[in-house]
Amino acid sequence: MELGMTTKWTIHKYEQGHISQQEDEVAIEFALTVHVNGIEYATMVCSPFHLEELVIGFLASEGIIRTFNAIHSLHVDIERGYAYVELQTPLEEDSLHRSKRFIGSCCGKSREFYYQEDAKTARTVYTPLTLTKDEALHLMKAFQDESRSMHQTGGIHQASIAVSDSLVFTSLDIGRHNALDKCYGYMLKENLPRKDKVIVFSGRLSSEVVLKVSKMGVGIVLSPSAPTDLALRMAEDLQVTALGFVRRDRFNVYTWGSRIVEHNALDKEGEKDEGSRA
């Protein structure tokens, strides 16, 4: 059982000099406490949807697991707000000091900074994937067409796993990190290859977002928003192609622009064939 993303709330709306009573939709905020091998590990404030994927992706981002097979069992008790994870092996000693952390949904330093722990799980991304300019714009349009909950509440982040011509999976959450962790968890749970994947994200490209994308092993990230300088330095180092301000018919390529091309290889082959037949 999963709860919805939003709930109804009666409001008094002031607009153009008039006050009216209306029903508004607001995002549901849910606390999920994760136990790993019987130890209380962390409490996350999240949206109560795709919670298994969230737990899997979170544990992978933390470096607790590398594959879905590292999990012996996973049970989410949504009524009580608990997730119980049993691993195939004991928790490593250096993981225990991170127990009972509170992870907020807000943007900013609600999670551990990456210099120590995250450095162990960040990875340089080697992928032959290229994306045409039209494909990048098409993916962002498809992404925004799916963002009904975002537009209704204004308080939900969205992230999608995509291939060059379509979205594969979309997650929503009040926490931007959670939305990305749900994508990571889905890839691990479904054992999806990473080399042909793109991440499309609704928020700004911060260093933490780029870091999470690199942990997934995905080489291209698209956002309709701006990047930060640290995010771009990190993207350069980790070989992540970062596209910002992807809107309608334009975007900025900030790093590893060689992956963004005019035409893909199949298009070029088709042009050659047509030319030879002519």
Name the binding residues. 245-250
Phi, psi dihedrals of residue 152, rounded to the nearest 5°: -70, -40
Instruction: Considering the candidates 46, 106, 107, 183, report the single residue annotated as catalytic.
Output: 107
Say if residues 84 and 77 touch (Cβ distance below 8 Å): yes
Q: List the beta bridge partners of residue 102.
A: 43
Q: For residue 229, what are the contacts with CB-CB under 8 A and spacing of at least 6?
A: none
106 is catalytic: no
Residues noted as catalytic: 107
